[in-house]
Amino acid sequence: MSLERAAVAAIAVLLAACAHSAPPERSKSASSRTAQNRPSESEAQLAHSAVNLQLLLRQIQGRPNDGRVPDFELESPAGARYSSRDLVGKKAFVAVFFATWCDYCESELRAVQLAFQQVGPLPIIPVSADGPETWARVPAYLAAFGIRDAPVRATDHREFFTAYNPSDSLPSLAIVGQSGALVDYIHGYDPAHAGRLLGSLRQAKSVAPLAWPSLDASNAP
């Protein structure tokens, strides 16, 4: 069985399990959903695994030889540029999705700041969902957590937002390792994320680039 078909089959099984577990309906407010409809540990792990498999499937379809995360070319309103050519497969990095008006983003960014103090800094791509009415607050908001990287508007780069934040929730973190592959995807806020975040950042920094198997004739259906 090819890697694509194996991934599709795995996703189908997970989605079927999700349907039986009947998770609570998502609201438009990530903060309200987290506070009012906190999923059980098993449901959260299932959803997390499903998201990672969907990302993996897209990676395999787009890059059959290395499985790296999707390419991107981003530019902030201040003119700063973030390119997958400079990061993916070369440096571990973190994409942080937030907004100044998000109730739980402050707690999640504080957890990121504390984790960086232990494992050392990593390149950050700050992606803000703030609109024109609150955009001026974003640089100072990030600086309060030690983040000086220029923020990117989510509305300017919807393809990147969809690929790296498939749950479409705030706050969210996509942690990409030196291998260029996804190490972890954390969405919503929970104090229990602190230990997981620390472990994922350490793994991202320590894992060497990986050689993914080529989809040759031996893997063909």
CA distances from 24 to 46, 187, 195 (A): 14, 16, 26
In this predicted structure, what is the pLDDT of residue 211?
A: 43
**Per-residue pLDDT at 6 exceeds 50:** no
Domain range list for the chain: 3-211
188: region left, alpha or beta (phi > 0 left; psi from -120 to 50 alpha): left
Q: Which two tokens stand for residue 131?
A: 């609109």
**How remote is the C-alpha of 125 from its chain's centroid?**
11
Over residues 157-177, mean pLDDT: 92
In this predicted structure, what is the pLDDT of residue 10?
A: 46
Please say whether the beta carbons of 203 and 119 come within 8 A.
no
Over residues 198-219, mean pLDDT: 62
In this predicted structure, what is the pLDDT of residue 193?
A: 85
Confidence of residue 154 (pLDDT cuts 50, 70, 90): very high
H/E element, 52: helix 41-62
Cα–Cα distance for residue pair 115/113, rounded to 1 Å: 5
Q: Which two tokens stand for residue 118?
A: 């232990």
pTM over 0.85: no
Degrees to nearest 5, angle at CA 198 with 197 and 202 = 115
> Poorest-confidence range of 8-12, 37-41, 111-115?
8-12
Please say whether the beta carbons of 45 and 17 come within 8 A.
no
**Per-residue pLDDT at 26 exceeds 60:** no
**Per-residue pLDDT at 16 exceeds 80:** no
In this predicted structure, what is the pLDDT of residue 166?
A: 86
Q: Which amino acid is at 8?
A: V
In this predicted structure, what is the pLDDT of residue 44?
A: 59
At the fourth CATH level, which superfamily is domain 3-211? Glutaredoxin (3.40.30.10)
Mean pLDDT of the chain: 76
